[in-house]
Copies of this chain bind each other. A is one copy, B any other.
Amino acid sequence: MGESKGVVKHILLAKFKDEITEEQIDKLIKGYANLVNLIEPMKAFQCGKDVSIENLHQGFTHVFESTFESTQGIAEYVSHPAHVEYANLFLSSLDKVIVIDYKPTLIHN
C-alpha cells in the first residue's frame, strides 16, 4: 500500500439535535469552514449532506472532511484555541458525532 504524500483526512460525521434550525446549521458549517483561515495546518475543508440510498447511515446527516499534511498537523489543530472554541459550540449542537482520521492509501491488486 503506497501512502499518498502523507496527507491525512479528518472525517467528521454529524447528526444535529432536532432543535437546531437549518439557519443555525448553515452558520455552524461556515464557522467550521472558516477554521481553514485561522489554523495553519488545516489545508482544506469540504462538506455535504447525506444522499445515501442504502439506509446504513445510522442517522448521521452530514459529512465534514478536512485535510492536513500530517497527523502532527491534526494534533496542532485539535489543541488550537480557535478549534477549541468552535468545537465547544459545534459539539453542543450535535446528537451524535464520529471523528476518524486516516491516511488515504491507494490499493493495487
Contacts and interface: CB of A to CB of B under 8 A. Distances in A.
A54 B79 CA distance: 10
A62 B102 CA distance: 8
B102 A74 contact: no
Interface string A89-109: 000000001111111111111
* Chain A interface mostly: mixed
The number of times this chain is found in the oligomer is 2
Interface in A60-94: 60, 62-63, 65, 71, 74-75, 78
Interface residues of A, number: 46
Nearest to A78: B54
Interface of A: 4, 8-11, 13, 29-30, 32-34, 37, 45-54, 56-58, 60, 62-63, 65, 71, 74-75, 78, 97-109
